Amino acid sequence: MTQIAIMGTGMVGGAIDRYFRLHGVQAGLFDPPKGLSDPSVLANADVIFIAVPTPYYLDGSGFDDSYLRAAIEAIPVPGKTIVLKSTILPGTTEHMQREYPMHRFLFNPEFLTETTADRDMQFPNRQIVGYTAESRRDAELVMGMLPRAPFERIVPATEAETVKYFGNAFYALKVAYANQMFDLCKTLGIDYEIVKECAKAEPWMGTHHWEIFHKGYRGYGGKCLPKDTRAIIQLGDRVGSELTILKQAEEYNNIIAKAQGIDIQWEEGSPKKQSTPSFLKAMPKRYLVTGGAGFIGSTLVDALILQGHQVRVIDNLSTGKRDRVNAQAEFILADFTDLDQIKNHFHGIDGVFHVGALPRIPFSIEHPLPAAVANVMGTLNVFVAARDAGVKRVVYSASSSAYGAQETLPLRPDMPANPLNPYALHKYIGEKIAEQFHRFYGMETVSLRYFNVYGPRMADEGAYVTVISHFVRQYKAGQPLTVHGDGEQSRDFTHVYDVVRANLLAMESARVGRGEVLNVGAGERHSMNKIADIFGGPRTYTEARKGEARHTQADISLTRELLGWEPHIRFDDGIRQLLRDQGIHPAF
């Protein structure tokens, strides 16, 4: 079942929550000012609705989007489908998509009235979901979660954002027009109510916003019409589109407001221009990530930065890329195979993620010495440096290759290791180093056995390319896909975003830290032939690789028990999204 979280529990967020609860769905709530500050509800969610304030500045300079940004930055792991419910200017969703590319953004305008918010939420007359190029597929999922409506459309995000302004600005015009007609009727000495009722009999006139007195005053006020009208006028000015009629309506509305001795436009409350407080986050810590310029490491660094932590990266760039390292992280060009190079950089660090390695089985067979130096001695150096610096916990990136060939599936951590190649042996030795550093030195350690990680930033060249990257490269070059053996060998593939989430939980969980070994996999397996089928096109078969298991599949029951972790991204969805990101249309 899709897990849902809601950030902000005011009028809009509360209505969303009550709708889901009415239909048997328990959404996680995150609203720190109200005491709802458990980040795990965000980490575990697949879809996050953001319904935080976006108040309009009194000085007319636009919206305060600091609450919105703080909400996005409080999400502890990447890869989320984020549905913006806050009122935002056209173009904001696309801007957020570019600024926070680790998530997929949608916009779903709300059409709620404060006094009837629950009814409006449950029985809408229209349901609109706006998408970006990255979130187009998610739009259908989210539309399916929302209340049905007579009118339902999935449209580009900027069009969806404009809809509410289109409507509210029109309502503002109607209110201004109605008030002018009221003044005219008064001058003529005739009854406005009679004229209004007769005019409203024409269906095209609409039945709303013809009343003159609202909450004891004339003109439009409240929380929406004034700020939305002002915002769309300013947007028009910025892009060179003169919204003359709206400006005249706003000017007239200000006149009748002042004539009543009140400032209706702002009385219900847009704040003065000031920086708004951020969502409360966990106390920031200082983490060190080895291999932080690589595929998994750089994605982990991004997630830690999003959580508000300080991050130091150690990488020799043998396989990583400097431009992958988050600009807010401290980068140290160093090689962890040299203890003297790295040991001073561990001081003042709260926790270490040892992700760096020389990966891939073929490389370890062809180059056993450098592979062993990096994967065994380098790992030992990291643990020694962490111990000597008083680091509390080290999370070690292990490998499912340590299982080797087993008689039964799924693979459980209590099965005896059976490494079939040097790389598998190296990673298994790393687990034993982690275990013994806990036993002899009291260091908190945990090892995560990854199962075939894939996703954005995976290597696309050199000796470290996965089968998926091989297929991408061959497909783009117009070459047949090369399948080793009969293609029926299968692997458990895990999305990098799920792997990162497991790392974050392993660092924080009080239930681990005693040298445990945990599987991080999807719990299902897919053959090479199936993956080639998803790509489509011709393929060739070559000899099977030596030293590799025929099948892998993770048993994640212990991981679920100790970390509360399970994968959120199904391989069938993740691989197709990856292909689209590469400009490849999946065959099915």
β pairing state of 151-156 and 126-131: parallel
Sorted by sequence, the CB contacts under 8 Å of residue 322 that are 6+ apart come out as: 293, 331
Angle CA 441–446–451, to nearest 5 = 150
DSSP 57-109: PTTSS-B--HHHHHHHHT--SS--EEEE-S---TTHHHHHHHH-TTSEEEE--
Strand partners, 444: 393
CA distance 377 to 369: 11
Q: Report CA torsion sign: 421, 426, 429, 430.
A: negative
Contact 9, 279 (CB under 8 A): no
Residues near 249 by Cβ (< 8 Å), separated by ≥ 6?
Answer: 172, 173, 176, 177, 229
Catalytically annotated residues: 423
What lies within 8 Å, CB to CB, of 371 at 6+ separation is 358, 363, 364, 422, 423, 426
Q: Two tokens at 527?
A: 């053959």
Query: What DSSP string runs through 398-411?
Result: EEGGGG-S-SSSSB
For residue 581, which amino acid is it?
Answer: D
